[in-house]
A and B are shown apart, each in its own frame.
Chain A
Amino acid sequence: MENILSILVFFPAVAALLGFIVDKESARAYGITVATIEFFLSLWLWFSFDTSSAGMQFVEMIPLIPDMGISYYLGVDGISLFIILMTTLMTLIGIASMGETKNIKNMIVTLLFLEMTMVGVFVALDAIIFYVFWELSLVPMLYIIGAWGGPLRIYASVKFFLYTFTGSLIMLVGMLFVAYIYHNLTGVWSFAITDWYALVLPVNYQLWLFAAFFIGFAIKVPMFPFHTWIPYAHGQAPTIGSVILAAILLKMGTYGFVRFSLPMFPDASVLSITPIAVLSLIMIIYTAMIAYAQKDVKQVIAYSSVSHMGIIMLGLFAMNAEGLSGSVFQMLSHGIVSGALFMLVGMIYERRHTKLMSEFGGIASVMPKFAIIFGIMLMASVGLPLTIGFVGEFLVLLGFYQVSPIMTILAGTSIILGAVYMLRVMKRTFFGPLDNEENKKLKDLNARETWSLIPLVAIVIWLGVYPKPVLAPIDNSVKALLSFMDEKAITQEAKDMIRVAKSNKEVN
C-alpha cells in the first residue's frame, strides 16, 4: 500500500460523512471502531516504515493546480511518523474514554473530521495543503468548544479561532513570498516543501520570513506572549476538547517549526536562538508560577502544559541532535501525559461537577485506581526518571546545555516548579482528611475509563524505560535535518552553532 497516507487522511473523513447516517445510539461504538481502524492503519504505517532511512517515505504527489504550483503532496519521515501515531492513539482513547452524552453523534462526526485535519497537517509536504488542513482543523475545534463547553464557551471558541486564524494568515503571506522567490529563481511555481528546502535565502529575507512563520506557529504553540487564548480554551472546552487540544493541536505549532522554520531558515533560526530561548524560559517559569496559583485542577494542568511546551521550544532551538530529538520525543510524551491528565480531570468532573481543589481531599481512599493512575501521570508530567516525561526533558536540557548552561539551569527549574505545583495538586485532592460528605460517595473508575487509561500508563512506563524504538527513527531524521541545515547555512556563526552529530558526518 503505497498510498497509505491518503488512506490515513481520508478514512476518518469518509467515516465522518457516513457517520451522519449512523443511529444516535450506536454513534459511540461507531466512533470507537473507526478510530481503532485508523489507529491500526497508523500502526501498519509504522511497521512498513523503513526506520533506517532518514528521508521522506510513502511519498504521494498529484498536481492539483499546476499553474499555481499547488500539488497534493504527502510524505512521512521519522519525525512526523510518531506524531501521527500519537494523533490516532489519542483520538481513539479520547473517544473511548469520553463521558459526553449530549449530541453524541455530532461529537463523533466532528471528532472524525478533526482527525482527518490533524493527520493531514502532519503528512502534508505541500505548503498550501498543509495550510488547508491547518486552517480546517480550527472549524471542528470551534464547534467542540462552542457547543459542549462551559458557560463562557462561545467567547472561548471565537477567541481560539480568531487568534489562530490571524496568525496563520500572516504565515500564508510568508508562504506566498517563498513561492515567489522560488519562482523568481527557477521559473516554476512550487509550494512543495522539499523544493523549498533547496532555496538558499539571504539572511535578511530569512529573518523576515522566519518572523512571518513564527507568528503563525507561535500562536498555536502557544508561545508567550501569544498564550492568552489557551486558558480560556482549556477552561471552557469539554474534556475531549482539552485532550485533543493539548495532545495534538498544540503540537502542530512545534511541528511547524521543525518542518518549515528550521530547515528553510537555518541562519535566521540560529540568530533567533536567544530571543526564543528567553520567551521559552518565560513560558516555563512564569506559567509554572501561574499554575501554582490556580484553584482549579484543570487550569493547573492547562498551565503546566504551556510550561512544558516551553521545554519543547527550547529543545527545538538547541541546534543539536540531543535537543531536537528530545524535543520531538517530548512532543509525544507531552501529548500522552497531558492528554491523560485532562481525561482524569474530566472523569472527576463528571462525578462531582467541580474542578476546584478545595472541594476535594482524601479521595485516594475512595478512588484508589484513580489516584494511582493520576499519580503516575503526574510523575510523568514532572519528569520522574523511568517515565516518558524524563527522557524528553533530560535530552532537551542536555542539548541546550551546549548552547547556554545558565539558561539550561533556569529551564531545569521547570522540574522543580512542576514538582511543586503538581505535588500540591496531589496533596490537596488525594491526601489529607476525607471531610467532604459528597466525596465519600465517589465511585472509582469504571471498566471503560480504566481500560482507556491503562494503555497510556503502559506507554508512559514502556517508553520511559526503553525509548529506543521510538527515539532511534526520530534521531535518524533529526540528524539528517541537522546536517542539511549545516550545509545550507550561509553564515559561519550558524555553521558553528549547528552541531552535526559525529557519526552522521562520518557516514557522509
Chain B
Amino acid sequence: MLEPINVSLESLNLITLAPMLIAIAGGLIIIILDLLNGKLHKSLYVMLTILVLFVDFGSVLGLNVNERGFFDVMLIDGISIISQLMIIGGSMIFIPLALTSKRFHEYSYPEFFALFLFMIAGFQFMVATDNLILIFVGLETASLSLYTLIALHNRSNSYEAAVKYFTMGALAAGFFAMGSAVIYALTGSVELYKVAEILATRLNETGLMIAIFGSSVLLLVAFAFKLSLFPFHTWAPDVYEGASAPLAGYMSVVPKIAAFVVSIRLFGMYIDLGIEWVRWTILVIAVITMTLANIMALVQDDVKRMLAYSSISHAGFIMAALALDTTEGNTAIFLYYALFMFTNLGAFAMLWISRNKKRRFDAGHDHPYEKFAGLIQIMPMGAVVMGLFMFSLAGVPPFSVFWGKIYVMQSAVNAGYIWLAIVMGLNSAIAAYYYLKLVVYMFLKDPVKDVDVVYYNISKPLTVIIGFATVATVAAIFYVQPLVSYLYYMISASGY
C-alpha cells in the first residue's frame, strides 16, 4: 500500500505559478471569445493581449526573490524575475505591431494571439525553474507555438521557414533530452541544484569526466541551436527571412533571453564546478560566432538577412559574457538584451512599415539595399530613425547598444580576458561596416527609379511603438544607471 501523501496548499506556494497561469488563461479567454463571436476585429485581441501581459507583468513584479514552489520545481530567483519582466516587456512592444494599416493573414486569426500567450507562458516556465524536465516542457511549448506563428504568415517562404525551424528545433530538443538523460544517469536527479551538489562530490571519480563531457556537449549543442551559435546558426537567416519582419525581430530577442537564462543555469553550473574546458568551448564558439556572422553579414544583399546575421553576431557577443561566469558578466547579458531589444525590434519594425508599393514577385529578396537608396529624400523621418537604429547597433555612443557593449567589454576586462575585449572591439569595427552600408544607401545615394518605398504599413500604433523604441535608443544614457543597479542587485541576490 502506498502511503497517502499529505501536501498542504501553503507548501505548494502556488503564487509562483501565477504569472504563467495568467498568460495561459489569457490565451484561453481569447479562444473562448472567438467561439462566442467570430467577427471580432484584431484590434480587440491585440488590446486584450496587452492587458493580459500587463497583469502578467504585475504578478511577476509582485513575486518574492529566492522562493521555490510547487514541489520545489519552480524557482523564483532574481534572474527568473528579470528575465520574465524582459520577456513580457519585449512582447508588449511586439504585439501592437500587429495593428498594421494593411490586412495580414496571420492577424485575422485569434489563434495567433492565443498561441502568442501560450508561447510566453512557455518561456516563463523555462526561466522560472531549474528542473530539467520543466525546462524541456517550457521550451517545447514555446517553440511549437513559435513555429506555428511563423507559418501563419502564409507565404511559401514562411512555410519553409517554419518547417526548417521546426526540424532544427526538434533536433535541438532531442539533444537537450539526451543531455538531460546523461545528467540524470550520473546523478539521479533532474534538479540542477541537486545535480551540482552531487557532481561536486563525485568530480574526482575516474571515468566520470567523460560522462560530464558528454552531457555538456549535448546540452551545448542544444542551446547553440536555440541561440543560433556557430556552427548551428545556419537556420537563422532563412527563418528570419521567411517570418514576418516584426516576428523576426522578436525571435532575435525574446526566445534568446529565455535560452540564455537556461544557459546561465546550466553552463554556469559546469563552470562553477571548475570544469574549465566548458568555459573555453563557449568562448571559442562565441568568438567564432561573432566573427563569422559579422563576415557573413558583410556580403548580404538583403537588409533583413543582414539584420539576421547581425543578431547572430550579437548573440555571440553575449555568449562570451556568459563564459566569464561573473556577476558582472551575467548582468551584462541582461543589460545588453534590455538595450538591444528596443533597437533591434525598432529596426525590424522599420522594415515592417517601409514596404514596396507593389509586391514584386521577380525580386529575390524583400528588402534589398537598393530599396532603401535615397530614403532620406522619400521619407526623411523614417531614414533618420532607421539611421539611429543602425548607429546604435554599430555601437556608436551614446545610443543604447553602446552602453551594453562597454558593460560587456568592461566585464571581460575585469575577468582578466583583455584579448576578448579586443576581439569584441575589432568585431564591432567590422560590424560598423555593414550597418554603415545601409546608412550610406539611405542618406548618400539617390533613389532607384522603379523602386518606390512608401510608408506602406504605417498606422498610429506603429508610429507610437517606433517612437518609443527611438526614444529608448537615444535616451539610453538616462536609464542605464537604474537598470544596471536593478539588474546587478537581482542577479547577485540569486547568487550568480
Contact = CB atoms under 8 A, between A and B. Distances in A.
Interface of A: 64-68, 128, 131-132, 135-136, 138-139, 142-143, 146-147, 153-154, 157-158, 161-162, 165-166, 169-170, 172-173, 176-177, 179-180, 183
A65 B436 contact: no
Interface stretch (B51-59, B93-101, B110-118, B424-432): B424-432
A170 B413 CA distance: 13
A137 to B, nearest CB: 11
A158 B397 contact: no
B484 A68 contact: yes
B443 interface: yes
Interface residues of B, number: 33
B211 interface: no
B444 A173 contact: no
B397 A135 contact: yes
B440 A180 contact: no
Interface in B406-431: 406-407, 409-410, 413-414, 418, 421-422, 425-426, 428-429
What DSSP secondary structure best describes chain B's contact surface? helix
16 contacts: A64-B481, A65-B484, A66-B481, A128-B406, A131-B397, A142-B439, A147-B443, A153-B444, A157-B440, A158-B440, A162-B429, A169-B429, A170-B426, A172-B425, A173-B409, A176-B421
A305 to B, nearest CB: 25
B192 interface: no
Nearest to A173: B421
B231 interface: no
Considering residues B418, B425, B481, which has the most beta carbons from chain A within 10 angstroms of its beta carbon? B425
A176 B433 contact: no
B397 A136 contact: yes
B444 A139 contact: no
Nearest to B477: A64
Contact of B432 (A66, A162, A170, A172): A162
Contacts of B402: 132
A468 to B, nearest CB: 39
A139 B391 contact: yes
Nearest to B427: A169
B447 to A, nearest CB: 14
Contacts of B391: 139
Given A68-B484, A162-B432, A165-B432, 11 more contacts: A66-B481, A143-B444, A147-B443, A153-B444, A154-B445, A157-B444, A162-B436, A166-B429, A170-B426, A173-B418, A177-B421
B480 interface: yes
A288 to B, nearest CB: 31
Given A154-B444, A158-B440, A170-B422, A67 B488 contact: yes
Given A172-B406, A172-B409, A65 B477 contact: yes
Contacts of A172: 406, 409, 425
A161 B432 contact: yes
A180 B410 contact: yes
Contacts of B443: 143, 146-147
A67 B426 contact: no
A157 B485 CA distance: 39
A68 B433 contact: no
A68 B428 contact: no
Contacts of B409: 172-173, 176
9 nearest CB pairs, A to B: A169-B425, A166-B429, A132-B397, A146-B444, A65-B481, A173-B421, A176-B413, A132-B398, A67-B484
Given A172-B406, A179-B410, A162 B396 contact: no
B299 to A, nearest CB: 16
A153 B407 CA distance: 35
